[in-house]
Structure 1
Amino acid sequence: MPDVIDWTPKARAVLEAAAELFYAHGIHAVGVDVIAEHAGVTKKTLYDRFGSKERLVVEYLAERDRQWWAFLDRYLERTRPDSVARVAAVFEAAARWACERGRKGCAMINAHAEIGDPEHPAYAVLTGQKRRMLALFTELATRAGADEPESAGAHIMLLHEGALVCAGMHSLEDAFTRAGKVAVDLLR
């Protein structure tokens, strides 16, 4: 397995194909032969660039995580650093992301259903993303002046994760709007 990936156009094509297929069908349901065909490369090229399907899964989840944080940053930049509006901005960003890129729910939650082994290299990406979200909510609760920011951050995290699941399952209309309102009320 290569330590550093040479991000050639073919490597990018493989990652894009894998991202599309993994998100649409699940990680275990998609084989490297299907990914290679979808990317227009050979399996040898896929293995030359990524070394294994496992590494490709790690890169898919890490890229999705990177894209989420870049997307979220654009929403957070519009608000004052110490305002409760930053919490509302996270829920607004999540709603937009779900509408544009997450019709099947959270990629991290979906992947965790398939990768529950803490020894799997992708496990750290999955849990790391959720830890960073909790840290963000705790920081936002602190900046908003919450009396118990760790507790408030945990409650907001639960609201956010619940909204992710409800939106992904299409079981509750306006899940992010509703959860975001409760989160903001919690901090007021």
Structure 2
Amino acid sequence: MSMLDALADPAAPVVGHPRRDGGQSEAARRILAAAAPRFYLDGIRAVSADAVMAAAEVTKATFYRHFPTKNHLVAAYLATMSAAEQHTVSTWRAQHPGDPGAVLRRYAETLASQACGAGFRGCPFLNALAEYPEAENPVRTVVDGHRRWMLATTTQLLTELGLADARGTALALVMLRDGAMVADATPELVGTALTSAGAVLVHAARHSR
């Protein structure tokens, strides 16, 4: 999902200082829309607050009213992406009631397509983790929260599949997913490898004693 799509997603959080009615401020939306692609393509620390202000055509006063520090803006960017992914997975679960395997397959197929698409620069959360290793940083807090959701959701889906060690298998699948983020291959090969390896892990967990 692109950043603009994520901003338009029904689950998108309100970022920056909200309007009086609690809705999304247009200035904050513009700042985030200007920052996000640059953070993703160029690296977060490589993009200055001044560059974002210029691209969004806002004053320093406006910028800092919505985002007191650059870290607040980075956290808003990642929170928006996380909310969009969570909404997508929730939609898949609603479309495939009682079929957690179908949800896992759709995730793998979508991941493979994204991982080999034009402009792909890796997982935005793993990228941010590499740039912000400090445990108490607000950026790291958002990344850790997203990864906890990913592990918990995968565990829940595997529990629905009847796996006894759902959490252990979920951790292995998340590690497999992280590896797919750096695979240098076509979408078809990444998708096949991801699905096949995931199926092997699930099969092994089902037949373990």
User: 1:168-187 maps to which residues of 2 (within 5 A)?
Assistant: 171-173=184-186, 174-187=189-202
Work out which of the residue numbers 30, 34, 38 in structure 1 matches 2:51. 34
Deviations 1:55-86 (A, max 9, x none): 11111111111112223333333323344222
TM superposition score normalised by structure 1:
0.86
The question of whether the paired residues in 2 share the 8 Å contact of 1:160 and 1:176 is answered with no
TM superposition score normalised by structure 2:
0.78
Deviations 1:9-43 (A, max 9, x none): 11100011111111111111011110011112122
Match of 1:114 in 2: 131
Counterpart Cα distance in 2 of 1:112 and 1:59: 15
Counterpart Cα distance in 1 of 2:99 and 2:198: 15
Q: CA RMSD in A?
A: 2.1
Counterpart Cα distance in 2 of 1:87 and 1:113: 26
Residues 1:10 and 2:22 aligned together = no
Residues 1:138 and 2:155 aligned together = yes
The question of whether the paired residues in 2 share the 8 Å contact of 1:61 and 1:126 is answered with yes
**Change beyond 3 A, Cα 1:100–1:14:** farther
The question of whether the paired residues in 2 share the 8 Å contact of 1:13 and 1:39 is answered with yes
Percentage of identical aligned residues: 31
User: 1:148-187 maps to which residues of 2 (within 5 A)?
Assistant: 148-166=165-183, 171-173=184-186, 174-187=189-202
The question of whether the paired residues in 1 share the 8 Å contact of 2:31 and 2:53 is answered with yes
For the residue of structure 2 that corresponds to 1:146, the secondary structure is coil
1:102: how far off?
Answer: 6.7
1:30 alignment partner AA: V
10-19 vs 95-104, which moves further? 95-104
1:98: how far off?
Answer: 4.0
Q: Which runs of 5+ in 1 are unaligned?
A: none
The question of whether the paired residues in 1 share the 8 Å contact of 2:113 and 2:191 is answered with no
Counterpart Cα distance in 1 of 2:99 and 2:159: 8
Match of 1:74 in 2: 91
1:101: how far off?
Answer: 8.6
Count of residue pairs brought into register by the alignment: 182
Match of 2:108 in 1: 91
Q: Which runs of 5+ in 2 are unaligned?
A: 1-14, 19-23, 204-209
